Amino acid sequence: MFISQAYAAEPSGGAFPPFDPTYFASQILWLAITFGIFYWLMSTVIIPRLAGILEGRHDRISRDLDEAQRLKAEADAAHAAYEHELAEAKRNAHSIASEATDKAKQEAAEAREKVEADLAEKLSEAEARIAKIKEAAMGEVGSIAGDTTEEIIKQLIGGKLTKAEITKAISGSSK
């Protein structure tokens, strides 16, 4: 209420106080003082802090970019080393596989030669046994021929011959 009574005491015909020319000098003075304080505050406190913050950010971003570039270079080098090692491992694996294949072929050839040698030995033993059996059979052909001749004579003639006569007849006919 006090405020409204103070305004009521003033004459109501005056202009709005900021636009009243009688107050211009004091308003300009206070504007200059306020502007000076704000200018001094901005130039000594706020702008240096902002400049420091911006420079710090700029430095940090620059360091981060440099670090990222360094890490990218390391990653590229690691990738190149990985590719080189992978290629080397593939070559080694190929040579190992080739050596293993050659070794397996050599072992198979040695085993085949051993089996062939065993088979050749068994074949020669079998041929030797067959030759002995053939010889024995050929040796018995004479006695078989004699027995057969004796039977044939018995059947045809009805007579009996001695073994000596039959052997003499068989050996004489082959001469």
**pLDDT tens digits along 127-145:** 988 988 888 877 777 777 7
Tokens found for residue 52: 């420091």
Query: Which pTM value belongs to this model?
Result: 0.39
Contact partners, residue 42, CB within 8 Å, separation at least 6: none
For the chain, which residues make up each domain, given as ranges? 15-174
The rounded distance, in Å, linking the Cα atoms of 130 and 172 is: 29
Q: Which whole-number Å values give the CA distances from 87 to 29, 43, 74, 84, 96, in the listed order? A: 83, 64, 20, 5, 14
> Helix 47-156 crosses helix 163-174 at what angle (to 10 degrees)?
110
Each residue of 10-57: pLDDT tens digit?
555 567 877 888 888 999 999 999 999 999 999 999 999 999 999 999
Task: Report the pLDDT averaged over residues 95-124.
Answer: 92
DSSP 23: G
Each residue of 51-102: pLDDT tens digit?
999 999 999 999 999 999 999 999 999 999 999 999 999 999 999 999 999 9
